[in-house]
Structure 1
Amino acid sequence: MLWPQLLPEAGRLGRAVLRRPLATALLAAGAVSAAAAVAHVSTLVHPFMLADNRHYVFYLWRRAMNRTPTAKYALAPAYAAAWALLLSALLRRMSRLWVLGFCACLTVQLLPAWLLEPRYFTPGFYMLALRLAPPNELQAGATLVTYCQINALTMYLFLFRPFRWVDGSVARFLW
């Protein structure tokens, strides 16, 4: 959700790859391996996630993450890239001690949360967003457009795509 603010960081990391390709490749391989290991250990299925078909998480899990036994590993490169961008952007503005503390607090907050819910990521997201460089007008506009598109899709699904449950009651899609 912070992609407009992290896009310039991708250019900086790209230049780092050109300066030290072997070291960056080894670091990237280690980061992807670590992300795959975390996905292996931490991808748990909560019964509530599979029971309620009104949420994004249900469809994300059913159509992507649970498609094959190895699907949970497919996003490991994206996880590693996202962490690289986030940590690089944070380290430009915050001390290493602060970033280490932030990562530790985020781990303590998310580790016990067995149920995948976007709201569990909210405190860490806001702390991160507040510590990044303020967005310029173009970045703020891109963020606004992204949020508006997600909200428009959610409202469309809620208003125009109701569905019936087995008992005949009408259900609507929720965030």
Structure 2
Amino acid sequence: MKLSILKSIATVFALATATASHAADTSKPVIDQLVGTWFVEVTGVLPDGGAYQNIMNVDTGGTADIVGGWMFGAGGVKFTDSPASLTKADGNSFEIRMFAFLADAATGTPKGMNITVYRGEMQEGADTFIAEADLYYLPCSVEHCPAPNAELGTPATVAQVVGSRLATPVSTAH
């Protein structure tokens, strides 16, 4: 009985210590808060209300590669992994731009290009972020795909994004 009470007290103390250290993370620049691995879910994207989920890795240089993607309600279309980068960081806010090819799920033939711009804000504790995403779709084929363009015009879709931290880099400082 005493052992289980001591374990409970130790657990509460450990959680309080971890929470305090994470709460201090929001004082860091947003690039430092974003470094790590994130589970990202984007909703309100597809015409039938579908969503997509992926894993995003952000390094200290601002590269934000999107790896693996799961689409729900995509109607035979899939995304490729997406190269991305942090293009703005201001206070607790950020902007990430990425692009991915849309391909036929059965044949893998390119059907278009998706350029996405996340405009987000870190949440208290730096373990989550919320963002709005503008999605731009450009025609693309095997014969010709346009280069991603910073002047994209009006987005085809505006979506909601939620990111949850999965991991942070292991610190080598002692």
Report the TM range for the smaller structure's normalisation.
Answer: under 0.3
In the superposition, the TM-score normalised over structure 1's length comes to: 0.22
Higher relative contact order (CA 8 A, sep 6+): 1
If each structure's strand is expressed as a fraction of its own residues, which one has the higher value?
A: 2
